[in-house]
Structure 1
Amino acid sequence: MEARLKAVLARVRMALREDSSIMTLEDALDALGRQGVADAGRCEIPVEQVVGTVSRSADFDRGFQLVNPALADRWQQIARAVRDGADFPPVDVVRLGDMYFVRDGHHRVSVARSLGRPTIAARVQSICTTAYAMACLTIAHLPSKAAERMFLERVPLPDDVRTDLWLDEPAQWLRLADAAEAWAYRSTMAGRRLTDRDRMASQWWDREVLPVIERLRADGAVLPLRDVQAYVTALATRDRLGSLDWSPAVTAHLRP
């Protein structure tokens, strides 16, 4: 019994370490997909949105708490200097969406967080990604974001839609892409002209997804807050009913 308990606790501690581990820029870009790069110059950035690193994943956790004891003395020196009003150069970061990854200045970010500083001066390079990087992302979310990236490569939704996309399960993105392409096929067979994937994606969202959500909510259906989650929930219900249209039976199954 004692050995089993130790094994369970060890697994729990490992899970907690993985959940709090700091994300690397390389892992994030592998999942989200790299597009354009631009320099944003020097500005003040929110300290709480600095949640990743370019190369020092063994020294700090996601909250930029020090996890490498060999760096404790250096950390204390910087902390004392900051409290005494020392003027440090801006940190060097890479921005993905709402997330910042530190290239240089890890100790300064860590100290700023520990002191409750709301912002920190930074030199920022921005990288646009296919899937949007929300500040709440953790390593555990990367498989779903990678699936989202693959969905967006098939269904390239407009930028203003991408920033609010969120699904928990990677398989949901595959199902959603299949649904969008099936809608495009039916639309083409009905004589609607869809000249490219960008146009297909935009029209699918505007003419299929949003009207379905509005109709279901107006009929009293209980759906998640985000539009894409609401549509996937309704789509799964429709599929279970074996229907190809949005019949009143779908709404009935989604009512409280």
Structure 2
Amino acid sequence: MMRFIEEPTSLDLDQALHDFRMARRKAVLADILSVIQPSSSRLVSFDEARQSLKLPMAGRQVIKEIPLDAIVGSVNRYEDFTRGFLPRSSIDAKRWASVHTAQYSQTGLPPIEVYQIDQVYFVLDGNHRVSVARQLGLKYIQALVTEIPSPVKLTPDMTPDDLIIKAEYVEFLETTRLKQTHPEADLETTAPGQYRKIFDLIYEYQKLLSKKWHRDVSVEEAAAYWYENDYLPLVNAIENQGLIRDFPGRTSTDLYIWLVEKKDQIQEELGINIALSATASILARRFSPSTRQVARRLFTQIKETLTPDTLKAGPPPGEWRQEVLKHRNSQVLFNDILVPVSGSQESWKALEQAGIIAQKENARLHGLHLLRQDSAETDTARSIQQEFEVRCSQGNYEADFSLARGNPARRISDFAAWTDLVVINLSYPPRPQLFEKSRSGFRSLVLRCPRPILAVPRRAMPLERALLAYDSSPKAQEALYIAAYLAGKWNMPLVVLTVQEGSSSPEDDRQKAREYLETHGVKASYESTRGPVAASILVIAEEYQCDWIIMGGYGTAPLVNFMLDNVVDKVLRSSGRPLLLCR
């Protein structure tokens, strides 16, 4: 219970001086620890905060209780106390003790005077009273509060270094006027120098828009355009995909800037344009510093190192749709198409086939030429690039071209992760002999590639009628999804084939496919046959004059696929039609 006294006794003064000495010891310890974290024991200067944030002096005044933990600075005594308002050596012990004893006197102490900026307070008068109250373990204190409006958020855990960031934010908002054009905008960051990077992006938009609109575009216009068309879509993807949990202590704007920098780094390394909002989750998974993602990458790397290429299972079925497509704003399935080209006549057929899809999907083509590991950039590689660019120009395709070295299956898979489809020439389909299988680069690519692969065996086809081979396996489900999209979007006739081999019954499979397609408004022809699956696929494709085939990739365990001559390999060897293999 609080006791009241008229005059402090010598016992009270002794207790107050004892508490002061204890507070001074804590202050010394805090200053020692501040060598490790310099900003952790410093109070914030009010004048520095006000000037940096360009705030007025005037504001509404109210008397109220305020939390002591929310007092982060002082007007003129910010060097005399630590961040916890522990007294430093400049503080007079007797004055501190007199405030201590007056705390419990009958007359008590008057309210302190503070300035409030958002959620934090700065002491104008009453620094000793705050120090004593903190030392006595009080949680609140009576204060005359002058409320100063602020364009930015300030929280009790802020440090003097945070003030630099807040000042940069105020400068950013003042220059771009984003709070006027978009009052809901929240672009807080946790590191200095971030707004300079955003300014660079806005200035790039300013130049591009001036050229596009044939007039001078203001910084305010460019900032609003950047916010609506660049920043918001990516931040929405970040929040919808829950990526922020892999970057604790960071804001969505921090992650936006990090993703933009990583995208630029990948584009510089691979020479490939990346659709950032669709690949944000991939970048976060590959580069996030969170313990969860680091452990996942370590496990994947160990597994990758210990597993032979012929036994790799690749990404799980449906991962492409789950991590990319469901977060994409457009209704197009194949925005970006990777086309490996060797310069052979067959590889140009693959480019021709990719061009047909690009026209239907308004897609961008990404050419990739693989150099030998020990070769330099040769005249041959440059001539292949020139030929690629000429053909894309003639077809009016948006395109880029990259050179890379390394294992073909691995490098194509690396590039494929940033695209939606791989279209590749099939010159050497996997052979049934085990030794030949172990050497098959195409087979390794099908196993590990994270995207669907369209194998083009002989010539490009118009892709006007497709055969879907369906058996309700996970990868066949992906094939069904893609077939439904293509049939609906391209207005393409579709034939669905289910095959009874041995004692299995195709009726349930056919019913599943029918229900899915009808639910999505897709009409199709249905065929059920008996006998060897690969042969049945080829016969029905010929009978219906289908010019390409859609099916799941290797469906069983990698070791079983390696030991047995499976359906995919048989169709690859025997069909002269393009074959779309789905994950």
TM range (shorter): 0.7 to 0.9
The aligned residue for residue 188 of structure 2 is 165
Map 1:105-254 to 2 at 5 A: 105-158=126-179, 160-162=184-186, 165-168=188-191, 170-183=192-205, 186=208, 201=223, 204-218=226-240, 221=243, 224=247, 226-242=251-267, 243=273, 245-246=275-276, 248-254=278-284
Greater CA drift, 195-204 or 236-245? 195-204
Q: Does the 8 Å contact 1:58/1:68 carry over to 2?
A: no
The aligned residue for residue 90 of structure 1 is 111
Q: Does the 8 Å contact 1:32/1:146 carry over to 2?
A: yes
Aligned-residue offset at 1:77: 1.7
The aligned residue for residue 55 of structure 1 is 76
Distance, in Å, in 2 between the alignment partners of 1:13 and 1:230 is 29
Q: Does the 8 Å contact 1:24/1:55 carry over to 2?
A: yes
Map 1:58-77 to 2 at 5 A: 58-68=79-89, 70-77=91-98
Q: Does the 8 Å contact 1:40/1:123 carry over to 2?
A: yes
Greater CA drift, 196-205 or 46-55? 196-205
Q: Using the aligned pairs only, state the percent identity.
A: 25
Distance, in Å, in 2 between the alignment partners of 1:129 and 1:64 is 24
Aligned-residue offset at 1:134: 2.5
Distance, in Å, in 2 between the alignment partners of 1:86 and 1:53 is 26
Distance, in Å, in 2 between the alignment partners of 1:220 and 1:88 is 50
Of 6, 9, 32, the match for 2:53: 32
Question: CA 1:189 to 1:35, structure 2 compared with 1: closer, same or farther past 3 Å?
Answer: farther
Distance, in Å, in 2 between the alignment partners of 1:219 and 1:92 is 46
TM-score (norm 2): 0.37
Tell me which structure has the larger Cα radius of gyration. 2
Unaligned runs of 5+ in 2: 1-30, 268-272, 286-292, 294-583
Measured on the aligned residues, the alpha-carbon RMSD in Å equals 3.3
Question: CA 1:183 to 1:135, structure 2 compared with 1: closer, same or farther past 3 Å?
Answer: farther
Q: Does the 8 Å contact 2:188/2:253 carry over to 1?
A: yes
Distance, in Å, in 1 between the alignment partners of 2:128 and 2:242 is 52
Aligned residues: 244
TM-score (norm 1): 0.77
Aligned-residue offset at 1:209: 2.3
Aligned-residue offset at 1:189: 6.1
Greater CA drift, 220-229 or 62-71? 220-229
Secondary structure of 1:34's partner? coil
Aligned-residue offset at 1:112: 1.7
Unaligned runs of 5+ in 1: 1-9
Aligned-residue offset at 1:89: 1.5
Query: Per-residue CA shift, 1:143-192, capped at 9, x if unaligned?
Result: 33332232222233336545x71221x2221001222343465567666x
Distance, in Å, in 2 between the alignment partners of 1:197 and 1:36 is 29
Question: CA 1:212 to 1:249, structure 2 compared with 1: closer, same or farther past 3 Å?
Answer: closer
